[in-house]
Amino acid sequence: MKQHIKKWVRVLLILSAIALAGALFTPIWSIDLDAPQYPEGLTLYIHAGKLAGDVDIVNGLNHYIGMKTLHANDFIEFTVLPYILVFFSVLLLITAIAGKRKLLYTTSALFILFCLVAMVDFWRWEYNYGHNLDDNAAIKVPGMAYQPPLLGYKQLLNFAAYSFPATGGFLIFITALVLCISCFFEYKAARITKNSRLAGSIAVLFIISIFASSCSAQPQPINAGRDQCSFCKMNISDPKFASEIISKKGRVFKFDDTHCIMSFLKKKSLDSADVKAIYFTDFYSPGQLLPKDEMFFYKSDKFNSPMNGNIVAFKRTQDIKHVQEQFEGEKIEWSGLERAATEP
């Protein structure tokens, strides 16, 4: 039985080794903080050997709520992580040159284990900093913890926290994905079955589909009285008029009125090229957010919406006929709303 890996797998391993080396010079993770007092937002970048971004400002805020200040020297991870990345980069090159299937399996298992341990360690680091608070802090909220999300979005007082991989993180993830796919193909090749090539192609498509679906935009529930409008900065009081924008980076912007979301778009607070999805609340089902292209819009001055936009959305055309019996007004197309938002 042939024990040497395929040439295209060797090429992918060499490219992965270069990618891991690149992760040494780019941020691996980013934590973004959005709040009314910081309209431009705050960003903390986590590199393999240092912290960057708005570290001093974040440390100042942490002082008020009793969190420890962040210093790279306090984390042994910043000392050992560059060496670990260099080790795996060299190991990938050795695996590509040696071309041994067993070495590929061993390298892949070690790297996946490293990724899992790193994520657990990152969660532990966030947990300790978010829960171990100074009892003498200036701001104390009983029962409140400030642990940022491991991945995704979380509301922390008036701050919206977003945690996502940065360039280096994606390079590490792609390396792990390449190793998994390479092992799969080599395992199938070792078994020498007639259907191995077809099965491998199906598996790759399956992996890609899972990855694509995991990156799809999903609306966040709107909590009336707690969530804040991203435009007017008022608390969202009535979810029947609420809406959301999700950016391509996964940021969620919530709005308490159609007037606010359209003004947000008109002022280009978020570039139109960065908008991934827009959702509106169904007027008759306030807990349900649906894509704008699936909604029908209706305007009536009798709605008395929070910011007097007085425009609501419905998922069914028959609902508009029903609401017309109570509120005199007119049906509006999304294209008309979008055109009005882009006019100077």
pLDDT tens for each residue of 272-309 = 888 899 999 998 888 788 898 888 899 998 888 889 88
Q: 77 with 203, same domain?
A: yes
pLDDT at site 217: 57
Which one has a higher pLDDT value, 273 or 198?
273
Tell whether the model's pLDDT for residue 76 goes beyond 60: yes
Our CA angle for 103, 107, 110, nearest 5°, is 140
What's the rounded Cα separation, in Å, for the pair 93 and 86?
11
Which one has a higher pLDDT value, 285 or 245?
245
132 lies in a domain? yes
Query: pLDDT category, 43, cuts 50, 70, 90?
Result: very high
User: What percentage of residues in the chain have a pLDDT greater than 90?
Assistant: 37
Query: pLDDT category, 117, cuts 50, 70, 90?
Result: very high
H helical segments located in the chain: 7-22, 55-65, 77-98, 101-131, 167-191, 196-214, 258-266, 317-324, 334-342
Q: 180 with 75, same domain?
A: yes
Q: 20 with 138, same domain?
A: yes
297 lies in a domain? yes
Tell whether the model's pLDDT for residue 162 goes beyond 50: yes
224 lies in a domain? no
Mean pLDDT of 309-314: 90
Which one has a higher pLDDT value, 256 or 215?
256
For the chain, helix, strand, coil in percent to 5 are 45, 20, 35
pLDDT at site 323: 84
Last residue of one domain, picked from the residues 214, 248, 273: 214
Query: pLDDT category, 193, cuts 50, 70, 90?
Result: very low
Q: 175 with 43, same domain?
A: yes
pLDDT tens sequence across 150-159: 888 888 878 8
| pTM for the predicted model, two decimal places | 0.59
User: How many domains would you assign to the chain?
Assistant: 2
Q: 255 with 208, same domain?
A: no
The number of CA neighbours under 13 Å toward the Cβ of 126 is: 19
The number of CA neighbours under 13 Å toward the Cβ of 211 is: 13
222 lies in a domain? no
Tell whether the model's pLDDT for residue 115 goes beyond 60: yes
Q: 255 with 106, same domain?
A: no
What's the rounded Cα separation, in Å, for the pair 98 and 101?
9
189 lies in a domain? yes
What's the rounded Cα separation, in Å, for the pair 6 and 200?
14
Q: 113 with 166, same domain?
A: yes
pLDDT at site 325: 83
pLDDT at site 344: 53
Tell me if 20 sits within 8 A of 89, measured CB to CB: yes
Query: pLDDT category, 75, cuts 50, 70, 90?
Result: confident
234 lies in a domain? no
Name, in order, each residue with C-beta under 8 angstroms of 342's C-beta and a sequence gap of 6 or more. 265, 266
Q: 14 with 51, same domain?
A: yes
Tell me if 189 sits within 8 A of 161, measured CB to CB: no
138 lies in a domain? yes
What's the rounded Cα separation, in Å, for the pair 329 and 209?
44
pLDDT tens sequence across 325-334: 888 888 888 8
Q: Which domain holds residue 125?
A: 7-214
Tell whether the model's pLDDT for residue 97 goes beyond 90: yes
287 lies in a domain? yes
Tell me if 124 sits within 8 A of 62, measured CB to CB: no
What's the rounded Cα separation, in Å, for the pair 106 and 163?
31
Could you identify the residue written with the tokens 């309209």? 39
3-state secondary structure of 249: coil
pLDDT at site 194: 45
Last residue of one domain, picked from the residues 146, 180, 214: 214
Q: 204 with 243, same domain?
A: no
Name, in order, each residue with C-beta under 8 angstroms of 173's C-beta and a sequence gap of 6 or more. 115, 165
DSSP H/E element including 159: strand 159-165
What's the rounded Cα separation, in Å, for the pair 314 and 333?
12
Tell me if 131 sits within 8 A of 45, measured CB to CB: no
Mean pLDDT of 183-189: 86
Tell whether the model's pLDDT for residue 210 goes beyond 50: no
Q: 92 with 207, same domain?
A: yes
Per-residue CA distances from 106 to 16, 92, 102 (Å): 16, 11, 6
Q: 181 with 117, same domain?
A: yes
Q: 44 with 120, same domain?
A: yes
Query: pLDDT category, 1, cuts 50, 70, 90?
Result: very low
Last residue of one domain, picked from the residues 214, 247, 282: 214
Mean pLDDT of 157-181: 92
